[in-house]
Chains A and B, each alone.
Chain A
Amino acid sequence: QKEVEQNSGPLSVPEGAIASLNCTYSDRGSQSFFWYRQYSGKSPELIMSIYSNGDKEDGRFTAQLNKASQYVSLLIRDSQPSDSATYLCAVLPFSGGYQKVTFGTGTKLQVIP
Chain B
Amino acid sequence: DTAVSQTPKYLVTQMGNDKSIKCEQNLGHDTMYWYKQDSKKFLKIMFSYNNKELIINETVPNRFSPKSPDKAHLNLHINSLELGDSAVYFCASSQAGLAGPYSYEQYFGPGTRLTVT
- Residue positions of A touching B, CB distance < 8 A: 31-32, 34, 38, 42-46, 49, 51, 86, 88, 90, 92, 97-101, 103, 105-106
Q: Can you name the residue of chain B whose Cβ is closest to the Cβ of A103?
A: B43
- Residue positions of B touching A, CB distance < 8 A: 31, 40-45, 48, 50, 55-56, 58, 90, 96-98, 101-102, 104-111
The 4 closest A-B pairs by CB, nearest first: A43-B108, A32-B101, A98-B55, A103-B43
A101 to B45, CA, bound (A): 8
- A49 near B105: Cβ-Cβ < 8 Å: yes
Known: A44-B108, A98-B56. A105 touches B90 (CB 8 A): no
**B106 to chain A: which residues have CB within 8 Å?**
34, 44, 46, 90, 101
A103 to B36, CA, bound (A): 12
Known: A98-B48, A100-B48, A106-B41. A51 touches B110 (CB 8 A): no
- A92 near B104: Cβ-Cβ < 8 Å: yes
- B45 near A100: Cβ-Cβ < 8 Å: yes
B106 to chain A, nearest CB (A): 7
- B104 near A101: Cβ-Cβ < 8 Å: yes
A55 to B40, CA, bound (A): 31
8 Å CB contact of B90 from A32, A43, A46, A106: A43
- A42 near B110: Cβ-Cβ < 8 Å: yes
- B41 near A98: Cβ-Cβ < 8 Å: no
- B56 near A100: Cβ-Cβ < 8 Å: yes
Known: A42-B110, A43-B108, A98-B56. A32 touches B40 (CB 8 A): no
